[in-house]
Amino acid sequence: MSENPYRGHRFPREIISYAVWFYYRFAASFRDVEQMMASRGILVSYESVRRWCEKFGHLYTAGLRRRRARTGDKWHLDEVFLNINGVRHYLWRAVDQNGVLIDILVQPKRDQLAAMRFFRKLLRANGWRRPRVIITDKLRSYAAAKRVVMPGVAHRQHRYLNNRADNSHQPTRERERRMRRFKSAGHAQHFVEVHGIIGSHFRLRRHLRSAADYRRLRSKRFRIWNEITGAAALA
């Protein structure tokens, strides 16, 4: 970070980054984080934790995006509904064949224009590099938007081929219940984007790795996190 975003904060960056990591990484509330910090002798209010998450969540997410490995060439796309103040919205999500989150977008509709907007956001997040193939359910908006935004990209539409994207919604559903739903579309977009990127960074698919490989990769991911948050500089 070129400027010091921690200037003026009473607590050091290690404490702030740890609180933000704990909130977004686990199904914890702000009050849960307050109690967890208190158990370690750090007296901070849940309101301070909330302000830290609002301020630093996107800063950390931007750093993780810059440091993450190149995404795969097969994208799985899916959308689920969210009820926000009694109004139905849709959460669009894309992951690659390795389960790595590409991007998320909350929108009030799921028509062709919404799908086009989502496709363009995915391309921006991926450096405008197109996938080899996209896999979706049978929503017609995907095919219509692909013809405009990503012509030439192969498109497979099948209910069961898209289980990877469908399963990726589960952590968000869990947090939605924990938070007793989102307050607004902006609040939902802010949370799910940060929660998704941080969760994807630390979700290492343990069942596919040996214990030694898992520990090495886990240490590497924590080292990247400390470099992005600046905590390593004071370690």
Q: Where are the domains of the chain?
A: 13-67+204-234, 74-186
Query: Which band of pLDDT confidence, cut at 50, 70 and 90, is reported for residue 204?
Result: confident
Q: Is pLDDT larger for residue 206 or for residue 213?
A: 213
For residue 83, what pLDDT is reported? 85
151-179: b (≥16 Cβ within 10 Å) or e: eebeeeeeeeebebbbebbebbeebbeee
Amino acid 91 reads L
Superfamily classification of domain 74-186: Ribonuclease H-like superfamily/Ribonuclease H (3.30.420.10)
What is the average pLDDT value for the chain, to the nearest integer?
A: 88
What's the pTM value of the predicted model, to 2 decimals?
A: 0.86
pLDDT tens digits, one per residue of 127-172: 899 999 999 988 999 999 999 999 999 999 877 666 655 565 666 6
pLDDT tens digits, one per residue of 5-25: 999 999 999 999 999 999 999
DSSP, collapsed to helix, strand or coil, labels residue 71 as coil
For residue 103, what pLDDT is reported? 92
